[in-house]
Structure 1
Amino acid sequence: MKKKENTIRSAKFTSRKAITLLFFAVMAAIIALCYIALHDEVAFDKEGWDPDVHKGLNSLIIERSGMGNYAVFDFDKTTIVHDVSNALLVYQVENLKFGTAPDHSFLDAISDIDKKLQGTDITSREMGDTLKAEYDRMMSRLAAGESMEAIRTGNDYLDFRARFISLLDLLSQTFPEEVWYAWMPGLLTGLTTEEAQALISEAIDDQLGKDKLQKEEWRSPDGKWGGPVEKGIYLPEEMKNLYKALNDNGIDTYICSASLELIVEALACDSVRGLGLSKDRVFGLRFAESPRITAKYDPEYTQPMMEGKVECIKNYIAPNYGGRGPVLVGGDSNGDVPMLTAFDDTRNSLIIDVGRSPESNIGRLATQAKSEDNKGRFLLQPAFAKAKGDIEWEGI
């Protein structure tokens, strides 16, 4: 009898042990499956991405999904290939479409027009007077029935566009960033918001597309003025997919750009050509409210230039998230370095590699990303498309 009881107890013990082992085996399997799901689930398409960059972004999205987080991106050369403000400038110059800027010698945004431009013996006023004279002659020819195609072959036009690109470069060397950042959108001066939006939309239609990306030299007939020009803009599918994956997983996406907000909105908020963002997700430069556009900044608004991008995020975005910083920030230039490095809440800072100097601030962050094999905070992603042409271009 006692032997039988011992046998029964032994069987029960063995059974309990088996159940316990089975329980832990099942739990281990569940944990393993969760780990695999966490690390192997694909939140967005990896095509076109550096494998390590995609892995870092993918795990960020999965781990921070549905937790009330947000991401902030620069627009020009980060979200898109090339620069939307520059695309507008190219379109305006090539088609002689401006606001009332010609009546102001194209200098509406420049305060000290009698200051010599860096490295030259000419002032902004003198450059503007020449541009206005050339513009007036070309407009007279258009009014007389000459075609734009014919005008583009003339010396006035060739000198006009070369001086324009030189002036853009010289202003950046001569004045603080708040002056030359305002100069390009300042060429919309005198237009109503609706007129400016129509012109911006025309420019985007003309310049948008991977096949439109090119680099060329604009040089004056005498060889004195000119420089390299980037033409075309392109919104890569890779960035569209990233924005969508973030939004689909409850990580709200924002744009913080040093281009005029009105210009950025035209593409970023377009659901067909762009990202379909709502306007409250886009922060760019803002001019003071007026019936017609002026090149005067809104004094009540934090302009997102350089360190201003950090203040813009703190003032207008972070309060919606309990004061927390973004979990992801994306940029490509020195102007983005402040927001790429400012927030302890940022898990990853995505750098789009457009060939900046390794000695620049953004170049040093890119070098750090490389040294860490894209496994640290900074992730370095090669640009998604390149322009046709062999002209070297080094931006800020």
Structure 2
Amino acid sequence: MKRLLISFCFLLVFNVVKAQNLKTQIVVLGNDQFTLAAATQAAKSGVSTIILNNLSAQDLIKDLSLNSWLVKGILDTNKNKNIDNQNIPSLLDSVENLKVLNSVNWIKVDRSGSGWNIKLKDGRSVRAEVLLYGIKEDLSALLKYSPKTVSKKLNYEDNKYRTSVAGYFVDGVSNYSLLKDFIPETDENLVLLNFEDVNMDIARAAGVIAAYAPFFKVKVSSTKLKPVQGEMLGFKSPIIAISDVFESDNNWRAIQNIVQTGILKLSINENGAYFEGDKPVSLKEISEPLKAYFYKAKIWIEDHEAVELSIKKTVELIAYTRNKSAESLLSEIKKKWQSTYKFNGELNAERIIARREFAAITQDYLELEQVNIDNLGEVIR
């Protein structure tokens, strides 16, 4: 009887300890609004996420602007509630897939298979598939990642900007960060966010990148660029910072995509980076990048080098490239002109096409988001 009682007590203690241990797809370590933003974005991207920090909930959000994306965007499930710094912690608890553990100290980070095990000071453990590393100190003698800068000024000296996963302004200058900056080569299923120049856009990119592996059931090293860019754009987070195009623009995503490809380039000066959507498009400016993206476009362009790029000619170019009927394509575009694209006036097919119009049409019919590129921004055929 005594042995039975001992066994029962052991089993009870074991089950209590087991119940205290937590399991999640992503665990985030960090003590600021940026790691909170990354954790929240990962949760919004559809994976279970736990963020550990040793600050109180109020300390965590004390300097968080009420106009920030984290408050205005991520708490959209509470859009009918009055949001202030006092109730942000409780509202965060209602974000699906997200668990915020405030005032929790971790004491050790270990590998657990291909994932991670974080031991907490209170005796619990958190097991996760992916670790999002948002702290400045080393995790262990063997796991050291010194903070680095990941902001790069937008320019067209090479094509690396095509691999951007976050676009933002630094002192009015368009900057971007690359997918490879977030994924270390030496440790699997680890995403970095302990950057010196971290900001809210970089944090959101880290959250999306961390979510990719558990969502698609692959390793972090297998993360693909195009789905990450698509997820960022789906959440209205820019991959290229543009001075004169805003989220409220009906064709915002189309413009982001055409600029990211370099088929239409921004006008960059000391005041910003401008799309200038009402300016006309010339065949000369788009010919080289478009030929790199589509072999059939190369053939059409070489046969029409002297033409002005009217809306009609643009449709013919797209139709030839995508093996479609130019007449049917033009008819479709006419129907979308005002209803979908929200352009003013009737479509005049003989007029030179404007940059905004070119972006909208190519978004629908060239499907540029589906074209794969390598780490240097070169098109993979």
Q: Using structure 1 for the length normalisation, give the TM-score.
A: 0.22
Greater Rg, structure 1 or structure 2?
Answer: 1
| Bigger strand share | 2
Structure number with higher relative contact order (C-alpha < 8 Å, ≥ 6 residues apart): 1
Q: Using structure 2 for the length normalisation, give the TM-score.
A: 0.23
